[in-house]
Chain A
Amino acid sequence: MPIEESIIKHMQSALAYEETACFYHHLDPRVKLLYLVAAFAMISSGSIMKLLTALIFTYTLAFPCPRILRKTFHVLAGLAPFMVLTALFVVAFTVIFAGENPETAALEQVKVFIRVAVVAVTITVLTSSTTPQELICALAKLGFRYTYLYTLIIAVRFIPLVFKELSDIYDAQRSRGLELERGGVRERLRKLNALLIPVFVCSLLRARDLAEALELRGFGYSSKRTFYRNLKLGKRDAAFAVLVSLSALAIHLFAPG
């Protein structure tokens, strides 16, 4: 499987909401957003010890949901070839052209890996346990306009459909004898038209249907919107918010530099 395809497939599955309920499904989305912010704060440090502490902390927090943990490893497995290639290139480049010590250059790449691993687990926690609408509800309560947020959500929802369509189109064209992997670069690029034009046409038709449906369903008629879910911060939310905030602070202040 080509690297791009592998990354797309793994990222797609990571961003998808999971129907099965776990601890994080019961948390207020605003608290999960806070967790994401705290995780970014933790990995902003340049210290390897602080980063390792953040790594252990975030993966320990994912333990109540083994499925999320498995998905995270799945994402990291998808990213691995790309990250390894990038790391090798950066190390080689800095050692050869910038005269950097190989050990220091390698250590910097290890830090990058740790940061990516922390971001992967926190984002997977958020997206696997929060429906896009819950996220919109939380962000709308924080003052964001829902029409802009829905644009993003619709784009995310349609990504798998467009990929499915692309896959069907690819199959239809291969059945007509198209071989993308043969020929020179120019010829291959020209052959790509056989995929891109039908995808573009089908996406336009899909977008037309969706736009009509949104118009007919009252979307954007008012600048305000109600949400049938009531977001209320409970004790569990408060406890989790305190835990992640204090932990981020503790890592920043007390973890060895």
Chain B
Amino acid sequence: MESAVTLRNVTYFYPLSTSPALEDVSLEIRRGEFAVIAGPSGGGKSTLVRILLGLIPHIYGGELRGEVLVGGVNVIEKGFKAIASSIGVVLQNPENQIVNAVVEEEVAFTLENLLYKPEEIRERVDEAIRTLEIDHLRKRLTHTLSSGELQKVAIASALALDSRILVFDEPLAHLDPCGARELASILHKLCRERGITVIVAEHRLAELLRYADRVIVLNKKILFDGAPASAIGKMLEAGVEVPPVSKLFEELGKSPVPLHVDSKAISVIASDIANCRATHAGSLASDRRSAATYSSERVITAEDLWYRYPNGRLALKGVSLEVFRGDFIAIVGANGAGKTTLVRHFNGLLKPWKGRVRVFGKDTRFSSVAELARSVGIVFQNPLHQFFERTVLREVLFTLSNFGCTNCVEKALEVLRAFGLEKLAERSPYELSVGEQRRLAIASILAYEPPIIVLDEPTAGIDYSLKLELLKMLARIAERGKTVIVVSHDTEFLALAPITRVVVMADGRVVASGDPREVFYDLEILKSSRVTPPQIVELVKQLGLEGACRPLSSREFAEYLKRCRGAH
């Protein structure tokens, strides 16, 4: 098969850097292949994408050694202009790459720049819009579209140009699970039906791997390059997220390793537990995590809460919720379900349109944000939204001083120590890695010790090892008796967290609330709320085992299966 992309002995140093971002990378991606580039944050995925696009070295500078061919064109010599019509790109945040106000104009933009004739542009735009099935968006304003819709527009724009290679830089980072599943299936369709080469650099692999022909595990060097099923072990070693069902098979030492819940995976596990069910049903019931670990003291109460945004959109429609001291709550739901709107009421950033919210008995309508923030600390999704001081230490001191703590250097250092940031105290927050920035954002909120901590989409755009680090951090916070509320659509992450209650939101309403083992096993509710259940839940459901045991993670299920096997 003809080569779409070839890299030979590529080594790259960013300007002023003494260590390489990529080291001796050689790979060849063939036409029509679906290749996934996986690896930890800082492992060089985005750098590789920039090299493929010709942005490195032509825009970024630095020192690039080796050879890069895209569609047979030497990009290093000829520059990105030479490949503009053969390669299309979708960035992590497609909002940043959209230029025009209307979808149709955006799809036509590149063709117009490259001087295509108007009649041909119209034909190509029609064709691309038809392929992506976005005719209903054609006249829509781009700034009113969701992340998923914007991604489709960006793909349509590349298709209109008849780009034979599509490159995606973390396309799933801001999508909810249903959006991620939809995008993965679109990419698969483009690859299979139109023979387009698809290259995706991504952390979230659960939805992608099943479609991929090939996985390249990258951590400055190529650690693995081959079929996804044989990559699982290497990916686990490199700290890369793998589908939980694959992890389960690895933990059980079974092969072949499945990439999603399919009939083979079900039959392998089914034969494993064939004799187990009847004898062990009683002991399995005790696997359930206790939900009654929190006190009966209400810390937050939302009563028939309604919220209407200034543009008239009703974001909350009669939400009632009680949060108790020591609760560890996960609020799940698709993008736009009202999760973030709800938690912004907890510290008074938003005031109820109807109904009321009380925090430790105080009505938020009559309390200032500063007053409520003493009780409720919210950690927002993007750490860059809060950094402005010269040093890490000063960032923490800023929060402390806002809450009346002066001369609190010792206290700030203690918090930094607890988060492993003490050695970085005098560094600029902008010099930190993504993981360190995330830790600093949480540390600067925890520093003033609010009794309730809210984290809004804490796992968006972070890699698996950082997720595990975040889990440990949350577990420590919960152990200290704090009330923790996590807003997330990452159900695989939540399946690993010590949550006591799951609240499912859809269309501005709370549609379910209860023990995670009850709620995550109610597939009807999850489906109607556009929430995907953890993969292990899907597997157990298909095995018809939920009456006997309700594991949420691969580890829990593997332990159960091992016990089961041990008993026989």
Give the B-binding residues of A (Cβ under 8 A).
9, 16-17, 19, 131-133, 150, 153-154, 157, 160-161, 165, 168-169, 171-179, 193-198, 201-202, 205-206, 209-210, 212-222, 224-230
Shortest distance between the CB of A229 and any CB in chain B (Å): 7
Q: Let me know if B373 and A209 touch, CB within 8 A.
A: no
B402: which of A178, A197, A209, A229 is its contact (CB, 8 Å)? A178
Shortest distance between the CB of B446 and any CB in chain A (Å): 11
B349 within 8 A of A: yes
Interface size class for chain B? Answer: 35 or more
Q: How far is the CA of A225 from the CA of B117 in the complex (A)?
A: 10
Q: Let me know if B96 and A132 touch, CB within 8 A.
A: no
Shortest distance between the CB of B20 and any CB in chain A (Å): 22
Q: Let me know if A179 and B91 touch, CB within 8 A.
A: no
Q: Let me know if B386 and A169 touch, CB within 8 A.
A: yes
B136 within 8 A of A: no
- Considering only residues 339-361 of chain B, those with a C-beta below 8 Å from chain A are 344, 347, 349
Provided the pairs A174-B370, A202-B385, A226-B121 are in contact, do residues A213 and B91 lie with their beta carbons within 8 angstroms? yes
Write the chain A residue with the least CB distance to B374.
A177
Q: How far is the CA of A121 from the CA of B411 in the complex (A)?
A: 58
B211 within 8 A of A: no
Contact bitstring B389-421, A, C-beta under 8 A = 1, else 0:
000000000110011000000000000000000
> Which residues from A are CB-within-8-Å of B143?
157, 160-161
Provided the pairs A209-B96, A212-B59, A226-B121 are in contact, do residues A175 and B377 lie with their beta carbons within 8 angstroms? yes
Q: Let me know if A133 and B380 touch, CB within 8 A.
A: no
Q: Let me know if B399 and A177 touch, CB within 8 A.
A: yes
> Which residues from B are CB-within-8-Å of A216?
53, 55, 80, 84, 87, 89
Write the chain A residue with the least CB distance to B143.
A160
> Which residues from B are CB-within-8-Å of A16?
141
Among the 9-residue stretches B97-105, B240-248, B521-529, the one with 4 or more Cβ atoms under 8 Å from chain A is B97-105
24 contacts between A and B (CB under 8 A): A17-B102, A131-B102, A132-B100, A133-B105, A150-B99, A153-B99, A171-B380, A172-B378, A174-B373, A179-B370, A197-B388, A201-B387, A212-B55, A212-B59, A213-B91, A216-B53, A217-B157, A219-B113, A225-B112, A226-B112, A227-B112, A228-B111, A228-B118, A229-B118
Q: How far is the CA of A133 from the CA of B370 in the complex (A)?
A: 44
B108 within 8 A of A: yes
> Which residues from B are CB-within-8-Å of A178?
370, 402
Provided the pairs A194-B388, A210-B97, A216-B53 are in contact, do residues A226 and B118 lie with their beta carbons within 8 angstroms? yes
Contact bitstring B360-388, A, C-beta under 8 A = 1, else 0:
00000000111001100110101011111
A218: which of B110, B139, B141, B399 is its contact (CB, 8 Å)? B110
> Which residues from A are CB-within-8-Å of B403?
177
Q: How far is the CA of A224 from the CA of B382 in the complex (A)?
A: 40
Write the chain B residue with the least CB distance to A202.
B384
Write the chain A residue with the least CB distance to B114.
A218
A168: which of B81, B95, B109, B380 is its contact (CB, 8 Å)? B380
Q: Let me know if B387 and A206 touch, CB within 8 A.
A: no
Write the chain A residue with the least CB distance to B369.
A174
8 A-B pairs closest in CB distance? A177-B402, A213-B97, A209-B96, A218-B113, A197-B388, A228-B121, A217-B110, A172-B385
> Which residues from A are CB-within-8-Å of B114?
218, 221-222
Q: Let me know if B385 and A215 touch, CB within 8 A.
A: no
A177: which of B81, B96, B116, B373 is its contact (CB, 8 Å)? B373
Q: Let me know if A209 and B93 touch, CB within 8 A.
A: yes
A198: which of B53, B84, B385 is its contact (CB, 8 Å)? B385
> Which residues from B are CB-within-8-Å of A168?
380, 382, 385
Write the chain A residue with the least CB distance to B115.
A226
Q: How far is the CA of A39 from the CA of B49 in the complex (A)?
A: 51
Q: Let me know if A176 and B102 touch, CB within 8 A.
A: no
Q: How far is the CA of A154 from the CA of B105 in the complex (A)?
A: 14
Shortest distance between the CB of B60 and any CB in chain A (Å): 9
Shortest distance between the CB of A157 and any CB in chain B (Å): 6
Write the chain A residue with the least CB distance to B372.
A175
Q: How far is the CA of A213 from the CA of B53 in the complex (A)?
A: 10
Q: Let me know if B80 and A215 touch, CB within 8 A.
A: yes
Q: Let me know if A175 and B91 touch, CB within 8 A.
A: no
Q: How far is the CA of A220 from the CA of B441 in the complex (A)?
A: 40
Q: How far is the CA of A219 from the CA of B84 in the complex (A)?
A: 10
B249 within 8 A of A: no
> Which residues from B are CB-within-8-Å of A212?
53, 55, 59, 91, 97
Shortest distance between the CB of A187 and any CB in chain B (Å): 12
